[in-house]
Amino acid sequence: MKMILFGAPGAGKGTQAERISDRLQIPIIGTGMALREAIAQGTPNGLEAKSYMDGGHLVPDEIVIGIIKDRLAQPDCQKGFILDGFPRTVAQAKALDAMGVPIDLVLDIEVSDEDIERRMTGRRICGKCGASYHLIYNPSEKEGVCDRCGGELTIRSDDKPETVRERLRVYHEQTEPLKGHYAESGKLRTVIGQEELADTSRLVDEVLEAYR
Ligand code: AMP
- Quick: pLDDT tens for 159-171: 989 999 999 999 9
Q: Is 32 in the pocket of ligand 1 (CB under 6 A)?
A: yes
Q: Please check the confidence at residue 211 and state whether its pLDDT lies above 90.
A: no
The finding on whether 137 has its CB within 6 A of some atom of ligand 1 is no
Give pTM, 2 decimals.
Answer: 0.91
Burial 22-54 (b: 16+ CB within 10 A, else e): eebebbbbbbbbbbbebbeeeeebbeebbeebe
Q: Give the mean model confidence (pLDDT) for residues 145-167.
A: 93
Q: How many CB atoms lie within 10 A of CB 67?
A: 20
Q: Report d(CA 14, CA 7) in Å as an integer.
A: 10
Query: What is the pLDDT, as a whole number, of residue 49?
Result: 95
- Average pLDDT of the chain? 94
Active site residue 169: no
**Strand 123-126 to strand 153-154: parallel, antiparallel, or no bridges (unpaired)?**
antiparallel
Does the C-beta of 120 come closer than 6 Å to ligand 1? no
Beta bridge pairs of residue 124: 133
Q: Is 52 in the pocket of ligand 1 (CB under 6 A)?
A: yes
Ligand 1 centroid–CA 64 distance in Å is 8
Measuring from atom 12 of ligand 1, which residue has the nearest CA? 53
Q: What is the DSSP string of 146-185?
A: -TTT-PBEE--GGGSHHHHHHHHHHIIIIITTHHHHHHHT
